[in-house]
Amino acid sequence: MVRLVLRRLAWTGPLLFVVSVLCFLLISLVPGDPARTVLGPLAPPEQVEALHRQMGLDRPLTVQYLSWLADAVHGDLGRSVSTGTAVAPLIASRLAPTVSLILLTTLTVGVVGTALGVLSAVRGGPLGRLVDVASVVGLAVPGFWLALVLITWLAVRWRLFPATGYVPFGESPVGWLRSLALPVTATSLAAVTAVAKQTRDAMLDVLSRDFVRVMQANGLSTRSIVYRHALRTAAVPVVALLGVISASLLGATVLIENIFGLPGLGSGAALAAAQHDIPVLQGAVVCYTLIVVAIGLLADLAQAWLDPRVGAR
């Protein structure tokens, strides 16, 4: 287990370096001028050039990146072009909504999807066919469309949940849950059906193995066989899928946070891209990379706990 953690952490530094280089190069290719964004389209060229020199944009890209990297190693991600505030505190202030959305969505997907998959595998029949149909429907329904439907019915018409905004957990746990209920529901649909399908297939495979027949012959109850033995074995591929889903949610947060007005990393990155705010966008990408590394590490640890052979590889 320790070797697994060290191996994953050893890749973190090179991964961050590669991602930051690619992000810096791609951002530099995007049309737009940060100095012109700050000063406005009618600013005289002399002021634009002066701001270029002040921001260091007149230097070669290699020098700009190395300067940013030297500061980033010491925790300084620069300052926002549009607001002038430090990027690191700005990213930290937007981290809680995004992490809350990812954690609640992953928990919802894991619990609901696993429960549906186990029930359909054990009972079979119409419930199994329903899971198959729901998996196709869930993948076909766009998340943004479902988000708009939820806002129309549950926020505007029935006023059960707020349509936009975010309430910090420390301010009100109930308000925190209500502010994330609709975003989590809109993000979870496709993932729940995918996990249910994966769980059902894995459970059917495990329940057909010889050790299950031996336990049945020895008189063990169906509940004990399913929940104490079969589910642990079937959970290994399910946990791997949950890790992939959690990482993919980072892309979905950009759209969902903008629809529901959540002040998270996704909406901040979208705003920074529109304003050509390179330091904020670069900091958001680095933060996203760290979250993906953390998710992958947690998924690997969970798989190693369920199956020690995973940690030995």
pLDDT score recorded for residue 138? 79
Res. 142: pLDDT tops 90: no
The H-assigned helical ranges of 34-140 are: 34-39, 45-55, 61-73, 87-123, 126-140
Handedness of CA 281, 283, 286, 287 (dihedral sign): negative
Handedness of CA 227, 232, 238, 244 (dihedral sign): positive
Alpha-carbon distances, residue 31 vs 25, 39, 208, 274 (angstroms): 12, 17, 58, 11
Distance of CA 158 to the CA centre of its chain: 29
Structural domains of the chain in order of their starting residue, each with its CATH number = 87-312 (1.10.3720.10)
Radius of gyration of the chain (CA): 24
Among 9-13, 164-168, 200-204, name the one with the lowest average pLDDT: 9-13
Residue with tokens 């002399």: 46
Give the mean model confidence (pLDDT) for residues 220-234: 89
pLDDT digits (tens, 9 = 90+) for 62-73: 998 899 899 998
Q: How confident is the model at residue 154 (pLDDT cuts 50, 70, 90)?
A: very high
pLDDT score recorded for residue 284? 93
CA atoms within 13 A of residue 175's CA, in its CB half-sphere = 9
pLDDT digits (tens, 9 = 90+) for 28-57: 787 777 887 778 888 888 888 888 888 888
Give the mean model confidence (pLDDT) for residues 139-159: 91
- Residue 272 CB neighbours (<10 A): 24
Q: Is 300 or 162 the better-scoring residue by pLDDT? A: 162
Beta bridge partner(s), residue 86: 79
Residue with tokens 């990393």: 265
Amino acid at 304: A
Res. 253: pLDDT tops 90: no
Q: How confident is the model at residue 309 (pLDDT cuts 50, 70, 90)?
A: low
- Taking alpha carbons only, the member of 210, 155, 215 closest to residue 186 is 155
Give the mean model confidence (pLDDT) for residues 172-196: 93
Spatial distance between the Cα atoms of 228 and 50, rounded to a whole number of angstroms: 69
- Cβ–Cβ under 8 Å, residues 90 and 280: yes
Spatial distance between the Cα atoms of 265 and 292, rounded to a whole number of angstroms: 14
Tokens of 36: 């012109």
Spatial distance between the Cα atoms of 301 and 310, rounded to a whole number of angstroms: 9
Alpha-carbon distances, residue 132 vs 22, 115, 136, 188, 236 (angstroms): 39, 14, 7, 17, 21
In three-state secondary structure terms, 226 is helix
Q: Is 237 or 127 the better-scoring residue by pLDDT? A: 237
Spatial distance between the Cα atoms of 239 and 263, rounded to a whole number of angstroms: 29
- Return the C-alpha torsion angle 262, 92, 249, 188, nearest 10: -50
Amino acid at 54: Q
Q: How confident is the model at residue 311 (pLDDT cuts 50, 70, 90)?
A: low
- Cβ–Cβ under 8 Å, residues 114 and 223: no
The rounded mean pLDDT for the chain is: 88
Handedness of CA 7, 12, 13, 15 (dihedral sign): positive
DSSP 295: H
Helix-, strand-, coil-residue percentages of the chain, each rounded to 5 = 80, 0, 20
Tokens of 285: 């990408």
Spatial distance between the Cα atoms of 111 and 169, rounded to a whole number of angstroms: 22
Q: How confident is the model at residue 310 (pLDDT cuts 50, 70, 90)?
A: low
